[in-house]
C-alpha cells in the first residue's frame, strides 16, 4: 500500500511539473513561421505561430497595404490591398512577433501571338517566375492595360519588310508580321518596356531600320557559348559570357538605329541588342527554354514595375 501511495505521489508531482512547464512555454517558445514575406497586390498569404498554447492576437501596421484576420487558432490570412511595406504583428502573451510584408503590384505582360507553341512557352515561363503573361492576338489593344510587351520566337519575317529579296526565308506569314509590327509600334510609342526573343529580336531590328541574314548555319537547336559586352543589361545579369540555347537560321545583319550589340556568338552572330534610350531589350536565344533564362524574365518584370 505504501509503495502504491509513493507511486501516486510521484505521478502527481510529474503531472504538476508538466502543467507548470506548459504554462511557462506559451510566450517564450512561440515563433512565427516567417519574418519577411513578399506579396503581390490582390493576392493572399498565410502566417502562423507555433510552439505555444496561447492563441496569438494579430494586427497590421497599415490596413491600406495589408489586412490581417484570424483564419484558425494559430493562423492568420493576409490580403494585399496596396503597394508598399507593412508589418504584421502576432502578440502572444506579453511578447510580440513581427513579419515584414513587401507588396508589389501584379504585372500583366502582353505576349504577342506567334507560331504554335512559341507564345505559350513564354507565358508558361513567366508564370514560373510569378508574372502574368497574356497572349494577344490583335493589335487593337489598350496599351495602358499592360506593363510591357514580349515578342516571342516563330517563323521568318517577310524580307519585303526590310526591302530585300527572299534568299532563304521560310514559313512567311504576312498577317503575323503585321500583328507583331503594329503591337511593337504601339508599345514603343507608349514607351513601355519591350523584350524580343529570337523572331522577336529580328522584328525589333527590322522595326528600327535594320536588316537580316536570311540563312545562317550552326544555330538551330544547339547550345553554344557567347561573349557579353560590359556595361550592358545582359552583362549585369550574366557577366562576361553565357552558354545559350539557340534555335534560329536568321540573324541581324545591318543593326537598326539606336540599337547596340551587347552579345555575340563565337562566329560573330549577334545574340543580343539593347536600345540606347528606350527600354527595349532583345535576345536571339530562348530564355523560356533555359533554366538560367528565368533571371532574364525576372529582370524584365522588374523593369516593367518601374
Contact 205, 157 (CB under 8 A): no
Give the active site residue among 99, 113, 118, 198.
198
Is 198 annotated as catalytic? yes
Sign, CA dihedral 119-121-124-128, equals: negative
C-alpha distances (whole Å) from 265 to each of 13, 172, 179, 195, 238 are 78, 26, 30, 20, 15
Burial label for 83, CB within 10 Å (0-12, 13-18, 19+), is: middle
Give the active site residue among 118, 274, 288, 304.
288
Pairing of β 132-136 and β 108-112: parallel
Helix 293-305 with 118-128: angle, nearest 10 deg = 80
DSSP assignment of 244-276 equals: EEEE-S-EESSPPTTEEEEEEETT--EEEEEES
Give the active site residue among 113, 248, 286, 304.
286
As annotated, the active-site residues are 198, 286, 288
Amino acid at each position: 500500500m505504501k509503495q502504491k501511495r509513493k507511486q501516486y505521489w510521484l505521478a502527481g508531482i510529474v503531472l504538476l511539473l508538466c502543467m507548470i512547464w506548459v504554462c511557462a512555454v506559451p510566450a517564450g517558445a512561440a515563433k512565427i513561421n516567417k519574418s519577411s514575406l513578399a506579396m503581390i497586390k490582390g493576392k493572399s498569404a498565410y502566417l502562423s505561430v507555433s510552439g505555444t498554447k496561447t492563441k496569438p492576437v494579430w494586427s497590421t501596421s497599415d490596413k491600406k497595404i495589408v489586412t490581417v484576420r484570424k483564419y484558425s487558432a494559430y493562423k492568420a490570412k493576409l490580403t494585399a490591398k496596396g503597394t508598399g511595406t507593412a508589418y504584421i504583428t502576432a502578440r502572444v502573451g506579453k511578447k510580440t512577433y513581427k513579419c515584414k510584408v513587401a507588396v508589389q503590384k501584379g504585372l500583366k505582360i502582353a505576349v504577342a501571338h506567334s507560331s504554335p507553341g512559341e507564345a505559350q512557352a513564354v507565358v508558361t515561363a513567366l508564370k514560373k517566375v510569378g508574372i502574368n503573361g497574356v497572349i494577344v492576338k490583335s493589335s487593337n489593344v489598350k496599351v495602358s492595360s499592360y506593363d510591357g510587351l514580349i515578342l516571342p520566337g516563330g517563323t521568318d519575317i517577310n524580307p519585303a519588310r526590310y526591302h530585300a529579296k527572299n534568299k532563304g526565308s521560310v514559313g512567311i506569314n504576312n498577317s503575323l508580321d503585321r500583328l507583331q509590327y503594329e503591337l511593337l509600334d504601339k508599345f514603343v510609342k507608349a514607351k513601355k518596356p519591350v523584350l524580343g526573343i529570337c523572331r522577336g529580336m529580328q522584328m525589333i531590328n527590322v522595326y528600327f531600320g535594320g536588316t537580316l541574314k536570311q540563312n545562317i548555319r550552326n544555330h538551330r537547336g544547339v547550345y553554344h557559348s557567347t561573349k557579353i559586352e560590359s556595361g550592358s543589361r545582359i552583362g549585369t545579369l550574366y557577366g562576361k559570357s553565357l552558354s545559350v540555347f539557340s534555335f534560329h537560321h536568321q540573324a541581324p545583319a545591318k543593326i537598326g538605329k539606336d540599337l547596340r550589340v551587347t552579345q555575340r556568338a563565337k562566329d560573330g552572330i549577334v545574340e543580343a541588342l539593347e536600345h540606347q534610350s528606350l527600354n527595349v531589350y532583345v535576345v536571339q536565344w530562348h530564355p523560356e527554354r533555359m533554366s538560367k533564362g528565368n533571371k532574364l524574365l525576372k529582370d524584365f518584370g522588374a523593369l516593367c514595375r518601374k
